Amino acid sequence: MLSTCYTTGQTNTNEGQLVKKGIMNNQEIINVAFFYLKKGQEKTFEKLRSRGNVLLEKYGARIERVIKPTMIAQGELELPNEIHFAVYPNKEALESFNKDPEFLALKEEVVAPSVEKMYGFVTKKTDFEFVREIGDNTKTYGIALIYFKQGEKYETQFAQYHDEACAIIPEFGTHFERFLLPIESKGELEKPNEIHRFYFDSQEGMKQMVSDERMQKLFPKRDGSLSNLIFILGEAIQ
């Protein structure tokens, strides 16, 4: 199946306005968490997924995707053990879940003894419009943390790159799951301007896309608009 995406032309120029938009009562929230586990505590940490999902249901929320990173393909970042994407119907549901006594007890029982450190981002969907597809555990996943250079012209330049790239990359079996705008952050990892999550039908297709002559011509436009890009590859475990 081919997938396409395009922008609506709205850019992220006013962070104060975006934060205000991000706390609208009825807006879906996606919490993104990077977990670094203590050695030998992987089995203990699994309880967070199995029991956490049950607790999330009380608030109309769910763990949408769990990625086990396998490599940092671009940029500098210590490789996390897991990256979780949890979807909440609104900010109120997220806040209520975080105060839930059962969740607080689960954090003490599971998170405290098993997690060395974590980074987190509260995000909402960007204004990119695209055909959203959902992959499975057989796919190779990519997560991109995107940091724009300061100035509206660089955001516009990246949007132009993105429009052109989206016309090419589906040819190589690339499918889009999420385009996210971080509005709050927790931990030492700098908050990116955007987080993208997508998957590839095959690693061979991914390599062909990267080496494609048209994409090679576009990469300087992308790189010229960014102050940093962290690109993580991994597999889905949920």
CATH fit for domain 125-236, picks 3.40.220.10, 3.30.420.40, 3.40.50.10470, 3.30.70.100: 3.30.70.100
* pLDDT value, residue 223: 96
In this prediction the pTM is: 0.88
Which has the closest alpha carbon to 108: 39, 71, 100, 128? Answer: 100
Higher-pLDDT residue of 26, 189: 189
Q: CATH class for domain 20-124?
A: alpha beta
Predicted pLDDT of residue 77: 97
Q: What is the mean pLDDT of residues 57-82?
A: 96
Common-topology check for domains 20-124 and 125-236: yes
The number of beta carbons lying within 10 Å of the beta carbon of residue 190 is 12
Separation CA 74–CA 88 (nearest Å): 30
- CB distance 46 to 126 below 8 Å: no
Residue 119: predicted pLDDT: 96
How many percent of the chain have pLDDT more than 90?
A: 76
User: β-strands 29-37, 115-125: how paired?
Assistant: antiparallel
Q: What is the reported pLDDT for 203?
A: 87
20 versus 203: the higher-pLDDT residue is 203
| Type of residue numbered 63 | I
Measure the CA angle with vertex 73, ends 202 and 204; round to 5°: 20
**Which residue type, as a one-letter code, is found at position 190?**
E
Mean pLDDT of 116-129: 89
